[in-house]
Structure 1
């Protein structure tokens, strides 16, 4: 590539050689280190390429070897400029193109984040906009050191950040903290543990507090399971005092969930007709252009578009976007669901509900799905029998009693 570029800049020639002793000419060129390449014997002559500088050096060699050279074609930048020396507008446009590229290279046209998981791309981009860092700003106005410090200050979970400008892109690499930034303070507020929902207790481990229920008991929502009121009993079996503590226990119970979800009686079907419309999409800065045939009146189309940002090199992005548009015609109609489709819809609803329960730590023991169908209404009745933690802390009211004052007579 470098050799070809050098030849193009200084120019090279396609030459035909005829005469008495071409072999002697080639030997002399080799001795004087004159470069010849792609030598072809046509039978009556030899044809090859050589540089302009080499052609000027071989004039005495041509006379010495008694051969003749004829230039067949000229290549390279010097000859291109000479042929177009009168095309001033062409040269001006060529120069303006490179001037425009240089001007565009002074601005940022793409921002990329790498390593962010907790903070989304949109969150970080909005923060950049609040700090007046955005697409189209001058690269010289970006202080990467200040930007790194601001990110670490405003986003506590970011432990390391590196920002740099490469070409027309702002590249930001982020490393987030994978452990808690600080240990939460331990809460010692007195409280009871109450049932969060109805159920039958299957397991109960109490670490502090007074149990008010046991395994196998049926409990209702709001019922106290572990009390944070600890009585102090004297020798005569009387309550002498009361201590208030923070109850702590692991309590699981067998619970039930009942859901009823409505299923539509009719479904909308979209069928493609096979007709398509294709077009082009272009965008320069904030101006966009769509080139596509207008849709016939009364027809419906699904439009998809693929967009790509223009870049000359890996990090030299430009504010130019282009893409293709594809439209597919479709017609719609409604029809009743079949029994198999109703069952499939009910199963999908069941899977979504089951997924939500599992994400909450609920263990599914039994799962039943029924379809309740009549002429005017169709419903999916879904029942779950589960086992899950039901204990929830609830603050208790502390009652303070005043001791009787002693009187002296």
Structure 2
């Protein structure tokens, strides 16, 4: 089907409107004489619209006279007509040819450099390495050795663990994986609130408690704080005092890291609303459909065949066609299969009970997407709101649940985190680390 339409487009065809006493007689005569007509449909009581090869138009003149009909050309479609129009605009054709040549020439150069994967490494350092190899926007792709680029970046940027370089059209893409340097401090762990709530139960295992049962907390608020404390019975190394009097100074003792741990449950409230209309518009496909080829070159777009479907309302779907070499060259040429489906709109009425049921179902779907499966629901409320002005029914559901709101967050340790004495809570099996200061 697609090949037949494409062949007709390449040969050229016309869309004609046939009027007269007996258009059907003309169709039968044309078929008996071997003249192919297609996509025939009635445009009125005495009109038919059809497509015919451009080269067959002269044969139709005698057939129209025999059938007492007349025909008018509504549209000329196909490559021959496009070429004919283009020949009248030679400057435009020359410009298009020069554009394609320039596009092909420019596609052999690098115009963009992308560097991905850097978090702590400055991208400017990687770009500087590339510039030292004479790689910058505007250089030819043929002279770039990707393996040499990877080796050079690995040798000059020591924080890089792995690097991959690739050419994607007119773009040089450099992917980097950074090293995790040994000796980096992990810091302290606090327990914060994952969401707003009212604390129902709190069990503090390790760390400094900052809240109690009955407190209202907000998302991100610190519930249990991690801290540092001197190791019991430990003292810092002795250092002789300057000037030497036999006295010594003691440095700070080793510190123990106490990370926050605990079990904190809170009452959390959720709300969701669903709605439905007493009058509902439904969009359905009629079954009439067609498919064309969409071709785009830069901002210039065309579809084959031209003007094939003239639906008042339609749904459109598009499926891209892989072009292989053209895509690898980075050329702005795309081809896709485009489907058009005629649709019609109808309005249906719902009873109030049916609308409430639909709105309730939508609200419950939304509310249970919010409430975690492990949460314990202790209270649920439903409100039905009717807006008679626009015929809308709303169902609002409110749920109260008890759930764990603990979330561990790691941060850098500071001088203010050092606590002397037994202010904090330390469990028997605490897994705190040790840090020398």
Q: TM-score range by the shorter chain?
A: 0.3 to 0.5
Structure of higher CA gyration radius: 1
Q: TM-score, normalised by structure 1?
A: 0.44
Q: TM-score, normalised by structure 2?
A: 0.41
